[in-house]
């Protein structure tokens, strides 16, 4: 039996519902990474949880997925968690599962303002490549900074041009 709403949504932490529906996002600046007391549904008690603190809003409990994203973005070897302090990231709402049940959760992605040379849209990371990697690939293949959509169009254009010349 749930005897307090704190066991459903801890008021001391940001949650997906505070950001919005699936796809909603919020740019935040990391202020600190430390431990904070939070309700633990598994043990039905409070415990210290690794948390990410922000300049703009409540902290967020760090799960394994978001921790791995932070390591990928700010510390390839994972040895210095403080390397992310002062950096901007995007918090976004995504579909996920908790204990096998579908729900929404907060995910992290790289914050960037690099714009596509073709369409002018902000270049967004994929699930496997960050923005810097996409820009590097694009520059190597086309000589320009292109978003994924424009890279695909350019590849198709080059294939058509190649078949016409060959």
Q: Tell me, what's the pLDDT at 57?
A: 93
| 7: pLDDT strictly greater than 70 | no
117 SS3 class: coil
DSSP 44: T
Could you give the CA distance from residue 78 to residue 103 in angstroms, rounded to a whole number?
29
pLDDT digits 0-9 by tens, 92-123: 999 988 778 888 899 999 887 889 999 999 88
Average pLDDT over residues 33-42: 84
Average pLDDT over residues 63-74: 91
At 161, is the pLDDT very low, low, confident or very high (cuts 50, 70, 90)?
confident
At 12, is the pLDDT very low, low, confident or very high (cuts 50, 70, 90)?
confident
Rg (alpha carbons) of the chain, rounded to whole number: 20
Strands 60-61 and 88-98: unpaired
Please choose, from the candidates 84, 112, 88, 108, the residue with its C-alpha nearest in 3D space to the C-alpha of residue 96. Answer: 108
91 and 13 Cβ atoms separated by less than 8 Å: no
Average pLDDT over residues 5-27: 78
Q: b/e string for 35-58 if b means 16 or more Cβ within 10 A?
A: ebebbeeeeeeeeebbbbbbeeee
Please choose, from the candidates 12, 38, 29, 13, the residue with its C-alpha nearest in 3D space to the C-alpha of residue 105. Answer: 13
| 42: pLDDT strictly greater than 90 | no
Q: Tell me, what's the pLDDT at 8?
A: 55
| 165: pLDDT strictly greater than 90 | no
At 5, is the pLDDT very low, low, confident or very high (cuts 50, 70, 90)?
very low
Could you give the CA distance from residue 159 to residue 144 in angstroms, rounded to a whole number?
17
Strands 60-61 and 25-40: unpaired
């Amino acid at each position: 039996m749930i005897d307090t709403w704190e066991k459903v949504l801890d008021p001391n932490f940001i949650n997906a519902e505070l950001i919005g529906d699936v796809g909603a996002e919020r740019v935040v600046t990391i202020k600190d990474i430390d431990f904070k007391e939070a309700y633990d549904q598994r043990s039905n008690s409070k415990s210290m949880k690794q948390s990410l603190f922000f300049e703009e809003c409540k902290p967020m409990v760090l799960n394994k997925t978001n921790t791995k994203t932070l390591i990928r973005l700010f510390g390839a070897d994972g040895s210095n968690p403080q390397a992310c302090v002062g950096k901007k990231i995007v918090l976004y709402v995504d579909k996920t599962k908790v204990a096998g049940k579908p729900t929404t959760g907060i995910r992290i992605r790289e914050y960037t303002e690099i714009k596509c040379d073709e369409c002018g849209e902000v270049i967004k990371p994929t699930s496997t490549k960050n923005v810097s990697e996409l820009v590097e690939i694009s520059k190597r293949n086309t000589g320009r900074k292109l978003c994924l959509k424009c890279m695909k169009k350019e590849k198709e254009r080059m294939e058509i041009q190649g078949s016409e010349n060959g």
